[in-house]
Amino acid sequence: MPLSEPAPREHIHTRKITCTGYRRADGLWDIEGHITDVKTYGFANHDRGEIPPGEPIHQMWLRITVGNDMVIKAAEAVTDHAPFASCGEIAPNYEKLVGLKIGPGLKRQIRERVGGIYGCTHLTELMGPVATTAFQTIFPIRAREAEEKQQRQAQDGQAPARKRQSPLVNSCHGWRSDGAAVKRIAPDNYTGPDEN
């Protein structure tokens, strides 16, 4: 269902964020983010001269490489368009993300490493959707492979591996431990009332 009918208005600005997840041949995962900001009108910029309508004021790229453990193994950033000539100079700082683990506390750790004058507001913000995309890319594949492994072990008469807490449990309202989704998808993690 779309949003309600808006009041009369004029289109001024568009920000687009695209994130894509890839499984690499070496077993690692690449997650790439791309952000653009464009205006519907032209304007003068001190460093770039006239910026016509539709030309990005911001266009930046970020790639992280992570392992199955969700730890960042490599990070690379590129600034193609920015309002100041010096903006792209900070892109190499995003290598400081190496070693961080995607999970609780990540935003704080990112700000500590590339926040404020040590990073770019837009690249740092882009890490939020990039991290979510990493999770969306890796978790379903790893869960499916773990389930297939358990099925093979059961067929071979081996004891099933001990189940772990799903990292999604209590990450949002839909994944609350006492909710219907957890009861159905991750019953070992369910904490709600039994309906027996």
Could you give the CA distance from residue 97 to residue 86 in angstroms, rounded to a whole number?
21
Number of H helices, E strands in the chain: 3, 6
Cβ-contact 146, 154 below 8 angstroms: no
Could you give the CA distance from residue 110 to residue 97 in angstroms, rounded to a whole number?
7
Task: Record the pTM.
Answer: 0.85
Helix/strand/coil for 58:
strand
Beta bridge partners of 1: none
Beta bridge partners of 22: 30
Whether the per-residue pLDDT at 163 is higher than 70: the answer is no
Could you give the CA distance from residue 11 to residue 54 in angstroms, rounded to a whole number?
12
Q: What is the mean pLDDT of residues 40-68?
A: 97
Give residues with Cβ within 8 angstroms of 97, minimum separation 6: 64, 72, 75, 110, 113, 114, 127
pLDDT at 94: 98
Q: What is the mean pLDDT of residues 77-90?
A: 97
Q: What is the mean pLDDT of residues 21-40?
A: 98
Q: What is the mean pLDDT of residues 144-165?
A: 76
Helix/strand/coil for 38:
strand
pLDDT at 62: 98
Q: How far is CA 50 from CA 40, 80, 82, 113, 153, in A?
A: 13, 16, 13, 34, 65
Beta bridge partners of 66: 29, 72
